[in-house]
Amino acid sequence: MTLRSRLEALNTRFNALIQNRLRNEDEDNNLSTEHNTIDRLRMFQSNIPNEVPATTRRRAARQSIIRISFIENSGEHLITTQRTTVKKLVVPFSMNERAFLQKIREAFLIIGEGGIEICRVDRRRRVIPAELSSVCPSVIKACPQFGRSAVYVRLKNTYSLAGTQHESSNEVNCQSSTTNTSSSAGTQRQSRNEVNCQSSTTDPICGIVENVGNAGTSSMDHQRRQLESFEQRRRQVFIYLLFSVLITFSYI
């Protein structure tokens, strides 16, 4: 039955009831034949069968659809969509935190009775813990941090243990690298001091004088340093000239 045919049937029934009531009133002469629209509507409403009073009607509970995914590796900081399964949970909007967490555990049986941490994923697919006052649908829907991101859950204890191990390993690596650097620096300084001591002697009159055997080596080093400085100055002059030509052409 279409909407139009249903409305026509209701209109016909309404007119029949009104005519029947008016006919009875004319016969009994108990009521006046003049009825306004409100009275007619009240008469029509009183003749509707199986009507539920307005005071006993209940509104349906508001439902919320929340997309939830479980992160198996709690120490993972970057996530991909290929390794996650997103489930849609239809829960009441006013569900409390305890019932909502139980619903999550029922959806992901691998969680068990472990602690749950709520996270979100940004545009770069980085996992970021969410700061929520309460883990319930109303708070999650009102949180602007999620946006279009699904709600990601992971085990809290495993993540904290992995983070502690990662930090401790980083500290050990930093300490070892610092020790190696300091030891290598001390060895280099000691070797340079030994070379300087071997390549020079102390004269009581003239002070420190280079050994005769190393005179040729020192002169060759001096010439090499002069050539290197000359090459460096020539590169600087060439770069300066090239930069000047480019500026001149840009102004032209």
Quick: pLDDT tens for 108-142: 888 888 788 888 888 888 888 888 888 888 888 88
pLDDT at 205: 39
**Angle 203-208-210 from CA coordinates, rounded to 5°:** 100
Q: Counting beta carbons within 10 angstroms of the beta carbon of residue 83, is it exposed (0 to 12), middle (13 to 18) or buried (19 or more)?
A: exposed
Report how far residue 80's alpha carbon sits from residue 73's, in angstroms, rounded to the nearest whole number.
12
Average pLDDT over residues 3-27: 81
Lowest mean pLDDT among 8-17, 189-198, 217-226: 189-198
Q: Where are the strands (E) in the chain, listed by range?
A: 63-70, 86-92, 116-121, 127-129, 151-155, 200-203, 207-210
Whether residue 242 has pLDDT greater than 80? yes
Can you list the positions of beta strands (E) in 132-183?
151-155
More confident residue, 206 or 184: 184
**For residue 164, what pLDDT is reported?**
45
* Averaged confidence pLDDT in the chain: 71
Per the model's pLDDT, the better-predicted residue between 207 and 21 turns out to be 21
Is residue 162 predicted with pLDDT exceeding 50?
A: no
Lowest mean pLDDT across 52-66, 196-210, 219-233? 196-210
Check residue 89 and give its pLDDT: 87
pLDDT at 20: 83
Q: Locate tokens 């509507």: which residue?
A: 41
pLDDT in tens, 37-50: 667 777 766 665 55
Structure tokens at 42: 């009240």
Domains assigned to the chain: 3-49 (no CATH), 63-160 (3.10.20.90)
Give me the sheet containing 86-92, strands edge to edge. 86-92, 63-70, 151-155, 116-121, 127-129
For range 219-239, the mean pLDDT: 83
pLDDT-above-90 percentage for the chain: 0
| 163, pLDDT greater than 60 | no
- Please give the structure tokens belonging to residue 236: 């600087």
Q: Is the pLDDT of residue 175 over 60?
A: no
The pLDDT, as a whole number, for residue 33 is 47
**Least confident among 113-127, 138-152, 177-191, 203-217:** 203-217
| pLDDT the model gives residue 157 | 61
